[in-house]
Every structure is written in structure tokens, then in C-alpha cells.
Amino acid sequence: GTAPALLLQLEVELDDGTSVVVVSDGSFKAAAGPLLQAQHYDGETYDARRERPGWDTAQADEAGWTPCVTGLDKLPPKARPSGAAGEWWMNPSSGDLNANLDINASPAPRVRRIERLTPISCTKPAGGDPIFDLGQNMVGWVHLKIPTGTAAGSTFTIRHAEVLNPDGTLYTANLRRARCTDTYVAKGEAQEVFEPRFTFKGFRYVEVAAQGPDGQVLAGWAPTPDQIEGVVVHSAMEPTGSFECSDGLINQLQHNIIWGQKGNFIDVPTDCPQRDERLGWTGDAQVFCRTAAFNFDVAGFFAKWLVDLNDAQAPQGMYPMVAPDVLAKGQGDGGPGWADAGVIVPWTMYLCYGDKRVLQQHYDAMAKYVDWLPTADVDKRHCFGDWLHHDAHTPVDLIATAFAAHSAELMSRIAGVLERKRDRTHFAALSRRFKKDFQTKYVTPAGRVLGDTQTAYVLALAFDLLPQELRKAAADRLVFDVEHGRYTNTWRNRNGHLSTGFLGVKDLTFVLSAAGRDDVAFRLLLAEDYPSWLFPVKNGATTIWERWDGWTPDNGFQSPGMNSFNHYAYGAIGQWLYQHVAGIEVDESQPGYLHSLIAPHLPPRDSQAAQRIAWVKASLQTSYGQLVSHWAVESDTVTLQVTIPANTTATVTLPCGSTEAVRETGRSLAQAEGVRSVKTDDGTVQCEVGSGVYQFTFPRP
């Protein structure tokens, strides 16, 4: 809209027990202030000369202030705030809100200033303005100290960018229509500081231009790093997880995953924080939510977002592509892998935190969505496909059928948790129906899956859509594609690289590991050339890129229309690092880590991965306390130190074939305190342990 509008009801409880209610009515007055523009895409313009000291006190001078217009019906049609409905506008006569407006307190942590970054360098491109490098792609804004003695009317223009052009100037083409520019006009006082309040940016580099009142370059303008700070802003989630190992590149990858999450968890899980988008994309959220729950406490964050998602559900049952739904307006289908966030995210939050309420609150909406799936035409259903894959198109109808089977299977489990036996049977049958459709339409008797892409095999194996006798053939075909390639119109030589997009990336390494091919999974993890997780790391990335080829030495920047350097989807590899490499997993039958599964996986002996990853330490702050898995290899002896929180238990699985070869703090397992139910299974030793600290040693397999 073109007219600012306010709907307000302030309730003040006084010391004597009475209350005062202040509502937005005709008694309000308005006047122009120093804030001339405030928009999160374009930035903020603040003219300090227009400040009104004391305007927010009881002694304010009201001269020049004008009464506010009340009621949307009194505004010209073109000036009415877009999206506002008259039935919930404030009634000036009573101050009551219409009952149709359902306002609830948000369970999410508030967005706050979390930390501050100081520049690591300052450069000045030829003929340009000074550019500060904060050393980290961050989200928030700049705190700028205005030089002492600056004349009133001097203007400071602050521009932001994630990366630089080859000539050292800001690369802003990927911002699309977002200006990402703040402007401050000085008032001429001794000490002035500018920090915007109603905008945020995604950036690492900051350009500051200064002009005097005459419009010319400010005389003597030579900024120093102590005049600039980057104020990091995100939802104030408590850090819960840590992962580190002996390989510095993997540690930087984990760093990038963390910062990608911080920069995109700003009240909603945005796709990216810099361009003219910043929307709560459902597909990105469902891919990353499990990794997110390792790094931070996201229970409240997703509790709030799931309400946004349910609010946007279409009457037929479809979930949208973004929530809050600013695109389809409650009528659109987000499509396979995106709409399924409505089921996948609540289930994941239940597993991680053990709170049934998230399933109870959203059960009806989830059931409505899954019951809608059989009515959807997979050939006509909107689908983003395996978004931003690397030259490997997976048929969209295959993706739709795979995710329909997966969501129906999850709904069967959810109904079981909530003891809805009839629903459990219903959704299990629905899942089997989709599974049969998948096998009939997309799987050959030899175990080939239509599309013959990595993602096609990953979905088929991860969602358990194949007959048992064909799983090995499908896994072998997946490995062949990774190690060699496949024919399309021409030969695609993968040469040990991935090709998955958003929908295949999370489960790729899990599927390989489950097939007994940890060697291939670790090789993918440690690949340093494009496309890989470490290629951006090797090229200076401090967050996760949107595309595998956001920038390459041969081609430079990818298309600016879709090229964010802070996107968290591919950071879903963090889940495999925590769960598989470190071996920290939740027991679905006792969620929230009441019972944990500790099963670390070492890189195959004598492999390059074994040389690079000699130790791993991961921890997770659960509701019961800190859970730790720390393994190290020295002289062919493996030491695993495990910490199990109070009032919980765990199953520890060691990659060792003999119970006699295992020691716990120097004692045999039979004599070790707190260790029970010892057995061997498929080349491993398993035992049950209670809370406490344990140190297992055994020969490297």
C-alpha cells in the first residue's frame, strides 16, 4: 500500500489493579520524522536533521502534528494498505477487535543483535569508495561512527554485497531489484552514530561513500576500520551442537553451515538474506530442519513457523511453496518436496525434542494434506524438481510419487504415536499404494530407476520404495553414476562427484553408507573440485552457496537471477556429519534423546579420508544434558569417549567384530560398570549403557 496504517491495542495494568486501554483511534496524531525510508530489501534512509527530540515523552511539543485518519473506508482506494481487511480494522467507538482476528503470542525466540564483527581490511578500488571486508558473510546491518566535525547535511551512503567483482568493486548483480543501501544525513553534532532499525542485509563487504552538503566528496574522508562494525542479527536460538574433526576444510564447512543457518533463521527460515526474496521456502526448510536441530535449539522457531505454514494451507489440503504465503495467497500447491514440509518438519521436531504437542497441534492439517495426495495428478502437479541439480534431470512425476509415499508413511507413524489406530492403518495402506505405483511406473526388473539420476536412486532407497531384492542393484547403479557417469544425449562423466539438487542432497551420503559404501560417501564429502561441498570452502566461502557453481574459475559468476552466496539447503550434509560420522542419533521409539543411539563410522582404513580424518568430536545439548561422541585413531587403536546425560540411556555400537577386543576404561565389557546387554551383530559390538562417561578402546577395523 501507499499509506502507512496502524492497528494497535495497548493494555496497561496499574499498581492499584485497574487498567487502561489505549487503542488506535482519532486521538492519535502524526508528523513526519527523520526516517524517510525503511524497507528490508531497499534499506533505510535517515535524515538526522529532522529528528524531533522528546517526541516520545509526555512533554512533547505537538505543534505541527495532524490527526490520523480512522477507518479504511476513509482512505482513497489506492491508498488503502494492501491485504488489510475492513472486518478486522479497529472500531474507534469501542476499541474491540473482531473475533475473526486470532492473535497469539509467538513461541519463537526474538530476533536480536547477537554479535558484532570488525573489518579485517579496507580497500579502495580505482576511482571508487572505500570498501570494508568484515571477513564473514553475515546478516544484519552496519554500525557507523560519523567522523567528528562532520557538517550538517553531509550524506553517508552505505552499500552491501556478499562478494567482490574481479576489479575489487561490489558484486551486486545477484541482489536483483534489492538496493540494499542505507543513507544517513548528518545533523552536525559532535558525536553521531548511525545504526538502522527497520532493515537487514546479507553481506560481507560494505562500501561507504561520503558527500558534503555541497554534494561533493567529503573533504578529508578517509575512514578507518574502527568506524565500522557489522551487527549480526538472527533469531536468538540457543546453540546446542558442535562438530569438529582433524580436517580443517571440514571444520570450515561446519562453520559455513552454522553461519548459513544464523543468517537465514530470522523469524522464518528464509531461503536467502540478500536479494529481493527472503521468503520462508518450504522445500529448503524440510531439507535442512534436522541439521538445524543439531546446531541450535529450533523447537520454538519451528513451532512458530508451522503455524505460518498451517495458516497458508489451501482449502483442498495443499501446503504452499513459502510460508508466510505471500505468493499463492492460500491457493497454491508448493509441489513435491516443498509442500511435504508440512509433514516432514513436525515429525522431525517430534524426533528431536520428544514433544507430542507439535504432532497434535498440526495433525488435522497434515492428515488433510496426505489425504489430498491421491487426488492430485502427478503429471500435472506443479513441481520444482530436484532444484539446482548439476546436469541430472529427475522426472518430476517420479519425485511426486516418491514424496507422496514418504509423507503417507510418516503420517502412519504419527498416527501411531498419537494412538490413532484406524488412521495408522489408513495411512500405511496409502503409503503402500504409492510405493506400488512407484515400482510399477518407475522401476525396471533389473533395479534401474527412471531418470537414472543420483537423486532418483537416492529417493527410491531413502524412502524404502524398492523391493528388497532390488536395493543392491539400485545402490550399485548410484555408485556407478557417482564414480563414472551415465548416458543422456552425451556421456556425463561424474568422476567421483555428486549431481544432486536440493531434494537429493540430504540423503545421498546416508544411502551410500547404508549400502556399505562409506568409501564413496567420504570421497564425496572430501572432494575439493567442482561440484562438491568443499569447492566453495576452497574458494573462500564463509557460508553455504545456493548453487554448486555460484562461481567457478572458468565461468566466473553464475546467472545473477538465482545466485545467492548464503543458502543453507546444501548444508544438510551436516546431518550426516553428526549422525553418521560422529554417530549421534535419536531412537524413534524414545524421542528427544531419552534413549540415544551412538554408532560412529570411521573412514575406511588406508583411504585418503582416513588420513585426513583421524578424530571427530561432536556434542549435542539435549533436554536432559550434553550428549558427546568423541573418537580418535592412534596407532591402529580406536578410542571412543561417550557422555550420556542423566536420566537417559543409550545403545553404543562399535565397529569391532569381537567383544573380547573391546575395553572400557581398561576393563572388559563384562566387568565394566554401567555396561550391559553386550552382543555382536554383523561385525559390530553393541551394548546398552546408562548415564555417565565411558571410554571404549578397540582395534581399528
pLDDT tens across 162-184, in order?
999 999 999 999 999 999 999 99
pLDDT, position 94: 39
Rounded Cα distance between 280 and 296, Å, is 18
Indicate the pLDDT class of residue 89, thresholds 50, 70 and 90: very low
More confident residue, 223 or 633: 633
Place 310 in a pLDDT band, splitting at 50, 70 and 90.
very high
User: Whole-angstrom Cα distance, residue 202 to residue 194?
Assistant: 18
Instruction: Answer whether residue 51 shows pLDDT above 50.
Output: yes
Residue 526's Cβ-side half-sphere holds a number of Cα atoms within 13 Å equal to 19
Concatenated DSSP letters of 232-266: EEEE-PPB-EEEEES-HHHHHHHHHHHHHHHHHEE
Question: Which pLDDT score, from 0 to 100, does residue 407 have?
Answer: 98
| Least confidently predicted of 1-5, 317-321, 324-328, 649-653 | 1-5
Write down the pLDDT at residue 83: 42
Of 494, 505, 474, the closest CA to residue 290 belongs to 505
Which residues contact residue 115 at a Cβ distance below 8 angstroms, ignoring those fewer than 6 apart? 232
When mean pLDDT is compared over 68-77, 118-127, 372-381, 464-473, the highest value belongs to 464-473
Grid coordinates 537414472 are at which residue?
A: 452
pLDDT surpassing 90 at residue 138: yes
Q: At residue 574, does pLDDT exceed 60? A: yes
Average pLDDT estimate for 199-226: 92
| Backbone φ and ψ of 422, nearest 5° | -65, -40
Which helix (H) or strand (E) covers residue 310, if one does? helix 299-311
Mean pLDDT computed over 636-641: 97
Nine cell digits for residue 56: 516520545
Q: Which three cell numbers stand for residue 576?
A: 550426516
Nearest alpha-carbon partner for 624 in 588, 596, 653: 596
For 186-209, what is each residue's pLDDT tens digit? 999 888 999 999 999 999 999 999
Share of the chain above pLDDT 70, in %: 94
Residue 100 has pLDDT above 70, yes or no: no
> For residue 220, is pLDDT > 90?
no
pLDDT attached to residue 18: 95
Q: Are strands 491-493 and 485-487 parallel, antiparallel or unpaired?
A: antiparallel
Confidence at residue 488, expressed as pLDDT on a 0 to 100 scale: 60
Q: Shortest CA distance to 529 belongs to which of 481, 559, 494?
A: 494
Per-residue model confidence (pLDDT) at position 3? 67
Lookup result for grid cell 558525536? 191
**Nine cell digits for residue 553:** 574459475
Report the C-alpha gap between 373 and 405 in whole angstroms.
9
d(CA 596, CA 588): 9
pLDDT at 485: 81
318-360: pLDDT as tens digits: 999 999 998 877 778 999 999 999 999 999 999 999 999 999 9
Return phi, psi of residue 601, to 5°: -125, 120
Amino acid present at 510: F
Active site residue 277: yes
Residue 537 confidence (pLDDT) above 90: yes
Query: How many Cβ atoms are within 10 Å of 68's Cβ, its own excluded?
Result: 15
User: What per-residue confidence (pLDDT) applies to 73?
Assistant: 59
> Does residue 293 contact residue 593 with C-beta atoms inside 8 Å?
no
Distance between CA atoms of residues 529 and 506, nearest Å: 20
Q: Residue 496 carries which DSSP code?
A: S
Distance CA 643, CA 53 (A): 57
Tens digits of per-residue pLDDT, 500-524? Answer: 999 999 999 999 999 999 999 999 9
Q: Say which range, 86-95, 182-191, 255-264, 447-456, has the weakest mean pLDDT.
A: 86-95
**Residue 425, pLDDT score:** 98
In this prediction, residue 696 carries a pLDDT of: 98
For 452-461, 487-496, 571-580, 667-676, which range has the lowest pLDDT when averaged over its residues? 487-496
Q: What is the mean pLDDT of residues 540-545?
A: 98
Supply the DSSP symbol for 296.
B
Average pLDDT over residues 640-661: 97
Phi, psi of 14 (to 5 degrees): -90, 165
Poorest-pLDDT segment among 131-140, 222-231, 262-271, 687-696 = 222-231
Q: Which of 207, 277, 409, 585 is catalytic?
A: 277
The confidence band for 593, taking pLDDT boundaries of 50, 70 and 90, is: very high
Strand 675-681 to 684-689 pairing: antiparallel
Residue 78, pLDDT above cutoff 60? no
Q: Out of 38-47, 486-495, 635-644, which region has the weakest mean confidence (pLDDT)?
A: 486-495
- At residue 85, the pLDDT reads 37
Q: What is the mean pLDDT of the chain?
A: 93
Whether the pLDDT of residue 82 is over 60: the answer is no
Distance of alpha carbon 622 from the chain centroid: 20
The pLDDT > 90 percentage for the chain reads: 84
Residue 118: per-residue pLDDT: 97
Residue 517: predicted pLDDT = 97
Q: For residues 351 and 465, what is the distance between their CA atoms, to the nearest angstrom?
A: 22
Q: Is residue 229 annotated as a catalytic residue, yes or no?
A: no
Higher-confidence residue: 682 or 466? 466
